[in-house]
Structure 1
Amino acid sequence: MTTKTEFQIEKAAPVFKVLGDKTRLTMMKLMENQTCCVCEFVEIFQMSQPSISQHLRKLKNAELIEEERKGQWVFYSLNRESEWYGLMKSILEQLPSQDEKLIELEKSGTRITCC
């Protein structure tokens, strides 16, 4: 018989696994205060669009992020309604800002190139 505590740990373990990836954790930090498009992540991480989409799918399946369609483009942000938001927020507060990555995109003129 599984206790409530064991159940909660079993439920939390996959969330930590998803967040255990450096790219996904950085993506989460980038989305902490703004929405981001796949094309921005492609530029920032210098990865293919399918690879970025896989990372985003894992975050979405864990209910850590949500998406919003604007025309043909999809923008991602933290899911503030997630049962994991409090945990996620406390983890992200411990990480250094990643805003310089978005500032570099703006300087190079590649921020939100898809729009």
Structure 2
Amino acid sequence: MMITTTMEIEKSALVLKLLGDKTRLIMMKLLEKNTCCVCEFVEIFQVSQSSISQHLRKLRDADLVKEERHGQWIYYSLLKDHEYFNLIEQILKQLPSQDYLLRELEQKGMRISC
């Protein structure tokens, strides 16, 4: 029982650590109801594609997001069957919507423009 509890705490700590980064937290909030491409995150956060890819790789490696390839482009969405999705969902519910960021992209004609 002690090993299971310790493992659960460690897994929870990993999820919380990943969500402790502001960029990843906003990404997760956006992915709560949307599917996004790397290029959209690059535009939203005004950082390099490699930086965005590193954030997404960490989220993907922890099975928090899933990828779907369309040709040369990869689209990301939340992995809602993650064993700690209830914890993630409770955290995301506490955050204000970030959908305005996607609306701004749409107004610029840059929403899923790849």
Query: Is TM > 0.5 for Structure 1 vs Structure 2?
Result: yes
Give unpaired runs (5+ residues) of structure 1: none
CA distance in 1, matches of 2:44, 2:23: 10
Q: What residue number does 1:93 align with?
A: 93
Other-structure match for 1:23: 23
- Residues of 2 paired with 1:73 and 1:26: CA distance? 21
Between the aligned partners of 2:84 and 2:101, the Cα distance in structure 1 is 25
- Matched residue, 1:51: 51
The 1-side partners of 2:59 and 2:66 are apart by 9
Which residue of structure 2 aligns with residue 113 of structure 1? Answer: 113
Q: Secondary structure at the match of 2:32?
A: coil
Could you state the TM-score of these two structures normalised by the residue count of structure 1?
A: 0.94
Q: What amino acid is the match of 1:70? A: H
How far, CA to CA, are the matches of 1:6 and 1:43 in structure 2? 40
Alignment correspondent of 1:6? 6
Q: How does 1:55-70 map to 2 (within 5 A)?
A: 55-70=55-70
Residues 29-72 of structure 1, C-alpha deviation per residue, up to 9 Å, x if partnerless? Answer: 00010100000000000010000000000001111100000111
- Counterpart-to-counterpart distance in 1, 2:110 and 2:26: 19
More off after superposition, 7-16 vs 76-85: 7-16
The 4+ residue runs of structure 1 with deviation greater than 3 A are none
Residue correspondences, number? 114
Give how far 1:2 is off.
Answer: 4.0
5+ long unaligned stretches in structure 2: none
TM-score by length of 2: 0.95
- Secondary structure of 1:76's aligned partner: strand
